[in-house]
Amino acid sequence: MLRLITAAVLLLFAAPALADPADISAASRSVVRIVIVETDGDNVFYVGHGSGVAIAPNLVLTNAHVVEPLREDDTKFAGVVPSEGKRGYVARIAAYSPGNDLALLRLAEAGSIAPAALFPGEVASGAHVYALGYPGNVDAAQGLDLSQIVRPTAAVLGEGYISGGRSSNSFDTLLHTASIGAGNSGGPLLDDCGRVIGINSFGTVSDNGTDASFYFAVSMREITRFLREAGVTARLNSAPCRSLADLNRSESERFAAEAARLAATQQGKERADAAARDKARTQAEREVLDERDNRLALAVLMLVAAMGAGGAAFLYAQRGNDKALKISGGIAAALVLGAGIAWFSRPTLSSIDERAEGLVPTATDAARPAQTATAGKMICVIDPERSRVTVSDAADVPLEWSDTGCVNTRTQYGLGTDGWSRIFVPGSEETVSVSSYDPASRTYKVERFLLGYDAMVKARAERGKFSTPQCSAGQDGARKLGESQAAIKALLPPQANERLLYNCTPVK
């Protein structure tokens, strides 16, 4: 029972997971095996191998000691074997720094490997880390020969934690417990978001075989300095590591808060409208009653005046003054008629409500926000609190939107049940991007799926089945594109690796 209670408490207070499993899978696309071979002109001999990680489509970062044999003998050369695909590539040394055990290889032939992102920030003690590479003891246990080693093979994954406070004396390193072996040298040490935080270099040696194992990775301080001196610009990402689960939870909370705010605003508006109606009715009632009293008073005054004019007419009749009699009689008649008009033209009490309704719009329309246009030129700036970025650039995005779903006057978006979107399946990059735009909220969103080789082959095949309509295709063309894109969406994982959400504002 105590164990059950303890487990329940741990579950209740467990910190939210930061890693998405797909991040490590995506990062593994960048990991390569570096095979050193020697040739006598007719035969090829295996010398050894290490690991590496692509930091550009044609550049691989590794340890200096992995490629050191190449500097000693020009009969040796390096082969870079990706973790997936159909083939490997010959590579040459582009930069070499034995002082901090780093080297850079450049593909000597046409080829492209998905590059990883580097995390330049501080790595906390106790942080969860992953080591990816090709330990030789795993190859030996599997009985792999040279022909199998030079074929694309999935990298081996090790997990552990950063043990802070210790570094090697030779150069700055990270001490960790993610298992590596001979052959892992040059492979990446990754954080929970699949970003490179170090390059695995060497491990501790046990005299009796019972000591705990610790390993050293070249730190990012050394790596960034090495790359800068080599004139290489890599992908850097210093954003906090958040899982999509955490991001979705934050979005749900934000939507709930926004719904509560809108509900409170609506209630406030309804109260304001009710107060405005009450005020308008009070004003209308006062105006009607005042007008009725004024008309009544006017009718009485006119009757009194009419009686005076009638009396004068009677006196003039007694005196035989016909002319004065006619004038006085006409005035009396006119006053009586005016009194009748004043009496019968009084507003009725039932007109109070009608007049009040006429006053309500004047009281409430001023509080209603003006409608804003949804089309036009905009600049979209990323919202870091609502985004998850691991390998991509998050620069501002200029966007010109039309009501027909045309972006920047040349790219037609598809219209589906989930709104306006466009799926991009590049021919060279191993990434599928789903871009969408919501005109009502002016939010532009890009979700990126970092797919493996086989998944990309399927996505490209599906993309080849339809053509993209021109911007002049109208709503029918946009809906047809939306239906065609649905087949590609069905091939994508349930969650993207990245979500970049931008807030767009109009520009002149």
Q: Does residue 141 surpass a pLDDT of 90? A: no
Q: Does residue 10 surpass a pLDDT of 60? A: no
Tell me the CA distances in angstroms from 434 to 29, 31, 133, 498, one per residue in order: 20, 25, 31, 10
> Which run of H or of E encompasses 227?
helix 220-229
User: Helix (H, G, I), strand (E, B), or coil: what is residue 321?
Assistant: coil
**What DSSP assignment string belongs to 39-98?**
E-SS-EEEEEEEEEEEEETTEEEE-HHHHHHHHH-TTEEEEEEESSSS--EEEEEEEEEG
Strand partners, 171: none
Q: How is residue 235 written in tokens?
A: 């992908």
Whether the model pTM is above 0.75: no
What pLDDT, on a 0 to 100 scale, did the predictor assign at position 184?
92
Q: Does residue 198 surpass a pLDDT of 70? A: yes
Tokens 């610009």 locate to 233
Greatest mean pLDDT among 107-111, 270-274, 412-416 lies in: 412-416
If one counts every other C-beta atom within 10 angstroms of the C-beta of residue 141, the result is: 9
Tell me the CA distances in angstroms from 269 to 261, 272, 358, 361, one per residue in order: 12, 5, 19, 13
Domain boundaries, the chain: 16-241, 246-367, 376-506
Greatest mean pLDDT among 36-45, 246-255, 314-323 lies in: 36-45
If one counts every other C-beta atom within 10 angstroms of the C-beta of residue 304, the result is: 12
Q: Does residue 454 surpass a pLDDT of 70? A: yes
The single-letter DSSP state of residue 401 is E
User: Confidence band (pLDDT; 50, 70, 90) for 9?
Assistant: very low
C-alpha 213: how far from chain center? 41
User: Confidence band (pLDDT; 50, 70, 90) for 19?
Assistant: low
User: Confidence band (pLDDT; 50, 70, 90) for 33?
Assistant: very high
On whether the CB atoms of residues 187 and 131 are closer than 8 A, the answer is yes
Q: What mean pLDDT do residues 125-144 have? A: 89
**Count of alpha carbons within 13 angstroms of residue 198, beta-carbon side:** 28
Q: What mean pLDDT do residues 373-387 have? A: 88
Higher pLDDT, 63 or 296: 63
Q: Does residue 243 surpass a pLDDT of 50? A: yes
* C-alpha torsion sign, points 136, 141, 142, 146: positive
Spatial distance between the Cα atoms of 34 and 81, rounded to a whole number of angstroms: 6
Q: Does residue 189 surpass a pLDDT of 90? A: yes
N-term to C-term CA, the chain: 68
Q: Does residue 1 surpass a pLDDT of 50? A: no
| CATH number assigned to the domain with residue range 16-241, chosen from the 4 options 3.30.1220.10, 3.30.70.100, 2.40.10.120, 1.25.40.10 | 2.40.10.120
Q: What mean pLDDT do residues 23-34 have? A: 93
User: Confidence band (pLDDT; 50, 70, 90) for 380?
Assistant: very high
On whether the CB atoms of residues 65 and 99 are closer than 8 A, the answer is no
Listed range (13-17, 37-41, 185-189, 407-411) with the worst mean pLDDT: 13-17
Which CB contacts under 8 angstroms, 24+ apart, belong to 365-371?
367/269, 367/272
Spatial distance between the Cα atoms of 306 and 338, rounded to a whole number of angstroms: 10
Q: Does residue 212 surpass a pLDDT of 60? A: no
Spatial distance between the Cα atoms of 46 and 58, rounded to a whole number of angstroms: 24
What pLDDT, on a 0 to 100 scale, did the predictor assign at position 123?
92
In tens, the pLDDT along 44-66 reads 888 889 999 999 999 999 999 99
Q: Does residue 477 surpass a pLDDT of 50? A: yes
Tell me the CA distances in angstroms from 322 to 188, 215, 306, 309, 313, one per residue in order: 125, 133, 18, 14, 9
Tokens 């081996």 locate to 156
Q: b/e map of 59-73 (b: 16 or more CB within 10 Å)? A: bbbbbbbbbebbeee
Helix runs in 345-395, H state only: 351-364
Q: What percent of the chain has pLDDT over 90?
A: 43
In tens, the pLDDT along 68-97 reads 999 878 788 899 999 988 889 999 999 999
In tens, the pLDDT along 273-288 reads 888 777 877 877 777 7
The single-letter DSSP state of residue 462 is H
What pLDDT, on a 0 to 100 scale, did the predictor assign at position 268?
85
Q: For residue 230, with 0-12 CB atoms within 10 Å meaning exposed, 13-18 middle and 19 or more buried, which class applies?
A: middle
Higher pLDDT, 464 or 269: 464
Q: Does residue 155 surpass a pLDDT of 90? A: yes
Q: What mean pLDDT do residues 191-209 have? A: 82
* Ramachandran bin of 447, using left for φ above 0, alpha for ψ from -120 to 50, beta for the remaining angles: beta
Q: What percent of the chain has pLDDT over 70?
A: 90
User: Confidence band (pLDDT; 50, 70, 90) for 415?
Assistant: very high
Helix runs in 320-393, H state only: 322-344, 351-364
Nearest to 406 by CA among 500, 481, 503, 490: 481
Q: Does residue 17 surpass a pLDDT of 50? A: no
SS (H, E, C) 121-188: CCCCCCCEEEEEECCHHHHHHHCCCHHHHCCCCCCEEEEEEECCCCCCCCCCEEEECCCCCCCCCCCE
Q: Does residue 98 surpass a pLDDT of 80? A: yes
Q: How is residue 236 written in tokens?
A: 């850097």
Q: What mean pLDDT do residues 366-392 have? A: 77
Tokens 């993309």 locate to 463
Q: Does residue 362 surpass a pLDDT of 60? A: no
C-alpha 401: how far from chain center? 18
Higher pLDDT, 131 or 284: 131
Q: What mean pLDDT do residues 202-219 have? A: 74
Q: Does residue 498 surpass a pLDDT of 50? A: yes
User: Helix (H, G, I), strand (E, B), or coil: what is residue 253?
Assistant: helix
Q: Does residue 421 surpass a pLDDT of 90? A: yes
